[in-house]
Amino acid sequence: MRIDKWLWAARFFKTRSLASEEIQKGRVKLNDVPAKPAKDVKVGDTLLVRQGTFFKTVVVQGLNPTRGSASVAQLMYTETAESIERRAAQALAFKTSREPALSIEHGRPTKKQRRDIDHVQHDWNDRWSASVD
């Protein structure tokens, strides 16, 4: 079974074309080797799949050429214990990290502050261009 079709059937990606794109971008590895969309998957193969910012390492348990329900799709693979721990640690790091927007102390200047900045910076008698006359 093709790897792109398996990823689609196992519900890692919404469409088969999205699965193919992710494979071509190198975000999916089959047995620690970058794969191509037509590469065959067998039971017992190990896949490293990137979904968003998280990486999942799964072992193929079954092959199903049709896309079924989520409960059927979950029977097609098992996630490794290391992968589960790594995702949990990464989720905790995201949860406890500081919001980047909070590091901005002053924010954007108000309209009045902007006029004051422009007035101070643009004394038209001074040379303000870097070009040579």
Q: Which of 75, 31, 23 is nearest to 57 (CA)?
A: 31
Instruction: Indicate the burial class of 16 (C-beta count within 10 angstroms; 0-12, 13-18, 19 or more).
Output: middle
pTM score of the predicted model: 0.70
- pLDDT for residue 131: 58
Kindly state the percentage of the chain with pLDDT values over 70: 89
Q: Are 23 and 47 in contact (CB under 8 A)?
A: no
Overall average pLDDT of the 5-34 stretch: 93
pLDDT of residue 106: 76
Rounded Cα–Cα distance for residues 62 and 44 (Å): 9
Q: Output the pLDDT for position 49.
A: 94
pLDDT digits (tens, 9 = 90+) for 77-130: 999 999 999 999 999 988 888 777 777 777 788 899 888 887 776 555 555 555
Average pLDDT of span 53-68: 91
Task: Flag whether pLDDT at 32 surpasses 60.
Answer: yes
What's the start-to-end Cα distance of the chain, in Å?
69
- What are the structure tokens assigned to 110, written together? 């108000």
Q: Which is higher by pLDDT, 128 or 21? A: 21
Average pLDDT in the 8-31 region? 93
Q: Which domains does the chain have, with CATH numbers?
A: 3-84 (3.10.290.10)
What pLDDT score was predicted for residue 125? Answer: 58
Task: Specify the DSSP element, H or E, that contains 121.
Answer: helix 111-121
